[in-house]
Amino acid sequence: MRKHWWKALTVIILAYVFVAGLMSPVPKLPILHEAIRNTFFHPPLWIAMMVMLLSSTIYSIRYLRNGKLDDDLMAVEFANTALLFGILGCITGSVWAYFAWGDLWPNDPKTNGVAVGMLLYLAYFVLRGSFDDDMRRARISAVYNIFAFAVFIPLILILPRLTDSLHPGNGGNPGFNQYDADSSIKRIIRPAFIGFTLLGFWITQLRVRLRRLEINLDEVEESTKSAAIPAELQNPTNL
């Protein structure tokens, strides 16, 4: 149980975020009204996704340094979880954008940057699927993963700040900080960042454990099969 304290913490934080996110008082702003509460659920998805992508990149770098296939496994599963959070971020953002800005996908540098970034990571999975050899797949996709992260971060964090953007805190647009005089947003959004990120680690851990089991099972089945074939048939030159 001592090893799993962080899972209990995740549950507690998420319960707090979902209950307080709906019940606590929030700044009264025109156009947004109660929809400002989406701040507690939409941005944390992106923060969690970025942490997952950073972790994935770190494991890709580790793979290139050590050559351990387990690091490649960690990298791909972190990227998988990041993709889940990214897709949910896109859908929730789209719904919120429709009711705040009047368009499901507004022409905004941040949303467009995210779309490009997600396509970059979808290409990562396509690239992985195109190799038969495990070592080649791991090496080339690790290099691609590092490149994708290096492109993704400027696309969603730097470029939107250099041009006009609808997103708060971007392109000269004021953030919510100035309306958050009594810290009613900060009190919930900060734990939400932690809770969503911890959940991402939890999901990734489950996927990694499952994948390791599948790999072990594959190896056992493979060795059972080869043991069942007579030695002469395994090496026809002995015949």
Partner 1 sequence: MDQFTTSLTEALRQDGKIWVVIVVIAIVLLGWLYYLLRIGNRVRKVKQRLDL
Residues near partner 1 (CB under 8 A) are 18, 21-22, 32-35, 37-38, 41-42, 45, 84, 87-88, 91-92, 95-96, 98-99, 199, 203, 206-207, 210, 213-214, 217, 221
Identify which of residues 63 and 78 has a Cβ nearer to partner 1 in the complex: 78
Nearer to partner 1, 33 or 186 (CB): 33
Least separation in angstroms between CB 70 and partner 1? 18
Closest CA to 4 of 224, 166, 206: 206
Q: Hunting for tokens 């009594």 — which residue is that?
A: 182
| Least spacing, CB of residue 206 vs partner 1, in Å | 6
How many Cβ atoms sit within 10 Å of the Cβ of residue 100?
A: 16
Measured from the CB atom, is 63 or 93 closer to partner 1? 93
Contact residues for 125 (Cβ-Cβ < 8 A; gap 6+): 79, 83
Cα dihedral sign, 219-223-224-228? positive
Closer by beta carbon to partner 1, 99 or else 135: 99
Between 16 and 96, CB nearer to partner 1: 96
Closer residue to partner 1 in complex, CB, 224/238? 224
Shortest distance, position 29 Cβ to partner 1, whole Å: 11
The CB-of-202 to partner 1 minimum distance in angstroms stands at 11
- Interhelix angle for 134-153 vs 109-129, to 10°? 170
Residue 52 contacts residue 121 (beta carbons within 8 Å): no
Least separation in angstroms between residue 99's CB and partner 1 is 5
> Closest distance between partner 1 and the C-beta of residue 34, in Å?
4
Q: Which two tokens stand for residue 150?
A: 């290096």
For 105-162, give the DSSP string: S---HHHHHHHHHHHHHHHHHHHHHT-SSHHHHHHHHHHHHHHHHHHHHIIIIIHHHH
Report which of 29, 37, 166 is spatially closest to residue 105, judged by C-alpha positions.
166
